[in-house]
Amino acid sequence: MKLFVYSLREFDEKQYFDYWCESCGVTYSSTTEAPKPHNLHLAEGYDAISIITTPMDADMLAVLKKGGVKCVSTRTVGYDHVDIKAAEELGMTVCNAPYPPNSVANYAIMLMLMCCRRVTHILKRSELQDYTLNGKIGMELSNCTVGIIGTGKIGRTVIEHLKGFGCRILAHDLYQQKEVEELAEYTDLHTIYRECDIISLHMPSTEENFHMINEEALSEMKDGVILINTARGSLIDSAAMIAGLENGKIGAAGLDVIEDELSLYYYNFCGKPMDNHELALLRSYPNVIVTPHTAFYTVEAVEHMVKNSIAGCLHALNGEENPFKVV
């Protein structure tokens, strides 16, 4: 198999592409650039490509197909940046690259703890050598009722780890799991909104859950609720969240993802005006933690993403059972 890798990060991914491609008998070439219309020709003659979160529309997929590409693998769990319908119509396989859930689960709990203890506010004041206590008092995670929306691998792991804190845990998912029922109480969204001190999102982005956290949902929540999002930015209506932060409905937010981040995150805009007004506002609030989609980013996760991206392409081209196949 010949594989072309876009958006190769030479500082962390390259060592794993070198190792796993050699181990699997795969020939690969790469560019640090994201796939764009002007550089799709680089993949001509290759069987498959590996990408990250760059949008792949129908026109780009058609060009790749014409150049011989049969499989597109995204080195991410989510694949909403790829036009799945167009790929299916073109007869192209699309794969994702899951990784162990611990990285994101650990990060989500870290954000919960930081929000509960007002760490951002404390650090900012400490930078100014303000070591007084007034306004810094927090609350204990152990005494919170935590709502986990989405109990797939990551959500389930969050629940497993949270159990050690002694929290009361409520959960919601369209598909309930026995393992989760032993640790948490499944319930409806309205109950989670009404009763939880902390609500953490762990779902893929779909048309059905777009802006599920909106003005109406927020109106059902406790005053001072803490929102955690390490899943997808489109799950939360940014305007409604900003209004909730400003009127006190939301007490704190820990956000590793935001809306309209695809053209922003993983690029260096140092010294340039920010073209995302919502992010600029969110970064200004002392009770908001915003990180640039890095919850996944551990040594273990990066190696699995590279390894599974290669494996998905191999399975697809060899006509084998493919656990990484999306379409």
At 83-122, the pLDDT tens digits run 999 999 999 999 999 999 999 999 999 999 999 999 999 9
Residue 51 has pLDDT above 90, yes or no: yes
Q: How many CB atoms lie within 10 A of CB 286?
A: 13
Q: Which two tokens stand for residue 81?
A: 């940046």
Active site residues: 232, 261, 293
Q: Give the pLDDT band (50/70/90) at residue 316.
A: very high
pLDDT, mean of residues 166-191: 97
71-74 vs 93-95, strand pairing mode: parallel
What does the pLDDT read at residue 275?
Answer: 85
Give the closest residue to 78 by CA, choosing from 212, 189, 199, 233. 233
Q: What is the DSSP letter of 33?
A: S
pLDDT, mean of residues 26-32: 98
The mean pLDDT of the chain is 97
pLDDT, mean of residues 55-61: 97
What does the pLDDT read at residue 263?
Answer: 81
Q: Give the pLDDT band (50/70/90) at residue 149.
A: very high
Domain 102-290 carries which CATH code?
Answer: 3.40.50.720
pLDDT, mean of residues 229-250: 97
Helix (H, G, I), strand (E, B) or coil at 23: helix
Helix (H, G, I), strand (E, B) or coil at 42: helix
What does the pLDDT read at residue 262?
Answer: 83
Domain extent listing, the chain? 2-99+298-317, 102-290
Same fold flag, 2-99+298-317 and 102-290: yes
Does domain 2-99+298-317 fall under CATH 3.40.50.720? My reply is: yes
What does the pLDDT read at residue 137?
Answer: 98
């989405």: which residue's tokens?
Answer: 150
